[in-house]
Amino acid sequence: MLTTNAIDTVVRAALDEDAPWGDVTSEVLIPAEAVATAQLVAREAGIFSGGAVFASAFRLTDPRIDVQLFVADGAAFEPGEVLAEASGPARGILQAERIGLNFVQRMSGIATLTALYVAETSGTRARIVDTRKTTPGLRAVERHAVRSGGGHNHRFSLSDAVMAKDNHLAVLTAGGLGLTEALRQVRDRISHTTHLEVEVDRIDQIEPVLAAGVDTIMLDNFTPDELAEGVRLTAGRALVEASGGVSLTTVRAIAESGVDIISVGALTHSVRSLDLGLDIAVLQG
pLDDT in tens, 203-254: 999 999 999 999 999 999 999 999 999 999 999 999 999 999 999 999 999 9
Helix runs in 131-172, H state only: 139-148, 166-172
What is the pLDDT confidence band of residue 68, given thresholds at 50, 70 and 90? very high
pTM of the predicted structure, to 2 decimals: 0.94
Asked if residue 211 and residue 166 are part of one domain, the reply reads yes
Q: What is the pLDDT of residue 285?
A: 54
Given a contact cutoff of 8 angstroms between Cβ atoms, the answer to whether 206 and 259 are in contact is no
Q: What is the pLDDT of residue 15?
A: 98
Catalytic residues: 98, 133, 165, 199, 220
Instruction: Specify the number of domains making up the chain.
Output: 2
Task: Tell how many helices (H) and how many strands (E) occur in the chain.
Answer: 11, 12
Residues in the chain: 285
Asked if residue 278 and residue 258 are part of one domain, the reply reads no
What is the pLDDT confidence band of residue 167, given thresholds at 50, 70 and 90? confident
Q: What is the pLDDT of residue 177?
A: 78
End-to-end, the C-alpha distance of the chain in Å comes to 39
Q: What sign does the dihedral 236-237-238-240 (CA atoms) show?
A: negative
Asked if residue 261 and residue 152 are part of one domain, the reply reads yes
Helix runs in 86-191, H state only: 90-120, 139-148, 166-172, 179-189
| Cβ burial 215-232 (10 Å sphere, 16+ → b, else e) | ebbbbbebebeebbbbbe
**Which 8-state DSSP code applies to residue 136?**
T
Asked if residue 148 and residue 67 are part of one domain, the reply reads no
Task: Indicate whether 284 pLDDT > 70.
Answer: no
Asked if residue 113 and residue 17 are part of one domain, the reply reads yes
Better-scored residue on pLDDT, 188 or 177: 188
Asked if residue 102 and residue 113 are part of one domain, the reply reads yes
Asked if residue 163 and residue 181 are part of one domain, the reply reads yes
Given a contact cutoff of 8 angstroms between Cβ atoms, the answer to whether 203 and 185 are in contact is no
Mean pLDDT of the chain, nearest integer: 95
CATH of the domain at 209: 3.20.20.70
Asked if residue 141 and residue 12 are part of one domain, the reply reads no
Q: Any residues with CB less than 8 A from the CB of 230 and at least 6 apart, and which?
A: 203, 206, 217, 219, 222, 240, 257, 259
Asked if residue 208 and residue 86 are part of one domain, the reply reads no
Q: Which domain holds residue 102?
A: 4-118+272-283
Asked if residue 139 and residue 33 are part of one domain, the reply reads no
CATH of the domain at 114: 3.90.1170.20
d(CA 51, CA 40): 10
Asked if residue 98 and residue 130 are part of one domain, the reply reads no
What is the pLDDT confidence band of residue 182, given thresholds at 50, 70 and 90? confident
Asked if residue 256 and residue 163 are part of one domain, the reply reads yes
| Cβ burial 100-138 (10 Å sphere, 16+ → b, else e) | bbbbbbbbbbbbbbbbebbebbeebebbbbbbbebeeeb
CA-nearest of 188, 111, 194, 100 to 150 is 111
